[in-house]
Structure 1
Amino acid sequence: MDFDTGPAFLAIALGGAGLLAGSFLGLVSLRLPQGEGFAAGRSRCRGCDRPLDAWRLVPLLSYAVFRGRCAACGAAIPVRYPAMEAACGAIGVCAAVTQPSLAAALLTALLGWQLLLIAVVDGEHFWLPDQLTLPLLGTGLLAAAALDRLSVVDSIAGAAVGFGGLWLVARAYRAIRGRDGLGGGDPFLLAAGGAWTGWIGLPSVLLWAALAGLSVVAARLLTGGRVSGADRLPFGVFLALGVWLTWLLGPLGLSR
């Protein structure tokens, strides 16, 4: 039997895969910061600790059917679960409709799912673990080898320049200000971003990240919040956004 592998079918397939990926990544985003393994037993209700049946883990549908509550104890299910499922589904659809080939679509979806998990963990915990950034670097090298957008040499150069550049900035900031201005995981995340976009994409990654960070600061000021030099911002969230936009749109000022 021949299967329709046209854009509509691919969008549905990757969207559905994204829903499943989002269910898993939502669990990882909770377990990893707590030091638990990715597969540390069955999923449980955080209210009554009852294991969840497989049919209660159906992405989005189970949340809607039970109105966002545990069927056993009635405890509220955090909205982060369906939100991550929906976001990963949207990433899958976006990958399908924006990429010219099946391989590019699959790798783009993988990139988006990895970046989303990294952004969530950093946004909630100000932490960029090697367990997430190093696999992202590895898949960037894989993308360079599998696609014709970037050579493996350019990918390796992007990783080296990304890490080295941000590491030097962090060292210089500490030497001048006497305190850390960047987290230890940020250079590794930019290295991974460089592996995906190449060294020529790094300025665009940083520009998008800076604009996103400034937008958050501006929003705080406009809503009456106070901003000081001691405030912490999860820079990894902004870097993840910069990598995603640079991958989709290409380096700024250069035609794809």
Structure 2
Amino acid sequence: MDPKISIWIIKSILILALLYLAYIDWRTFRLPNAITFPLIILGIIFNWASELRLTSPSSAIIGATLGYGSLWTLNAGYRLLKHRNGIGMGDAKLLAALGACLGWGALPSLLLIASITGLLGGFAWLKWNRHQIHQAFPFGPFLAIAGIIELLWPQLIPTLILPRLI
């Protein structure tokens, strides 16, 4: 099979998994370990064993570690200040899965895209729910959107957006 077709099949499966996770999180405010853990493991294994890898094996391992660790640390700091969680650990596992699949270099773009789309979604959420600011808000769908954008257009932030901001 042509490698270009094979990589699109892999990307399509990952996009379907991200869409499913976004749907689940939007409806239930949960990202199931039964999906996020296998995505982390499969991302590392795929990038380790396949010639069609999306990133180097070391970048996949560092991406999974930094993806989880960054949101865990952010939540730990918030918990120290507010004595409650500010972000779910399912979101951290999803970012770890994206880091495992796309590598640590994609994490800044993923977080930037997820944060911008999350802010826009948050404003819509507040308007829809009549400004109930203390109500929970799912961040997983916006991580999924960022993952899909990064899969389809991996150089969107560095080549198209950053030069216009600088």
TM-score for both structures, normalised by structure 2: 0.85
Counterpart Cα distance in 1 of 2:47 and 2:18: 17
Letter in 1 for 2:32: P
What's the Cα RMSD here?
A: 2.2
Q: CA deviation at 1:121?
A: 1.1
Tell me if the contact between 2:21 and 2:31 (Cα under 8 Å) persists in the aligned partners.
yes
Aligned to 1:239: 143
The alpha-carbon distance between structure 1 residues 140 and 148, as it changes in their structure 2 partners (threshold 3 A), is closer
Encode CA deviations 1:74-114: one digit per residue, 9 max, x unaligned. Answer: xxxxxxxxxxxxxxxxxxxxxxxxxx712211110110111
Letter in 2 for 1:215: L
Query: Which consecutive segments of 4 or more residues in structure 1 shift more than 4 A?
Result: 220-224
Structure with greater contact order relative to length (CA < 8 Å, sep ≥ 6):
2
Q: CA deviation at 1:203?
A: 0.8
Letter in 1 for 2:36: T
Counterpart Cα distance in 1 of 2:119 and 2:37: 27
Counterpart Cα distance in 2 of 1:247 and 1:199: 14
Aligned to 1:161: 66
User: Is 1:225 paired with 2:114?
Assistant: no
Q: CA deviation at 1:181?
A: 0.6
Tell me if the contact between 2:75 and 2:85 (Cα under 8 Å) persists in the aligned partners.
yes
Percent identical pairs in the alignment equals: 34
Aligned to 1:203: 108
How many residues get paired?
Answer: 157
User: Is 1:190 paired with 2:95?
Assistant: yes
Q: CA deviation at 1:122?
A: 0.9
The alpha-carbon distance between structure 1 residues 123 and 223, as it changes in their structure 2 partners (threshold 3 A), is closer
Counterpart Cα distance in 1 of 2:63 and 2:5: 25
Counterpart Cα distance in 2 of 1:212 and 1:140: 24
Counterpart Cα distance in 2 of 1:250 and 1:172: 30
Alignment gaps of 5+ in structure 1: 7-99
Letter in 1 for 2:68: F
Within 5 Å, give how 1:10-21 maps onto structure 2: none
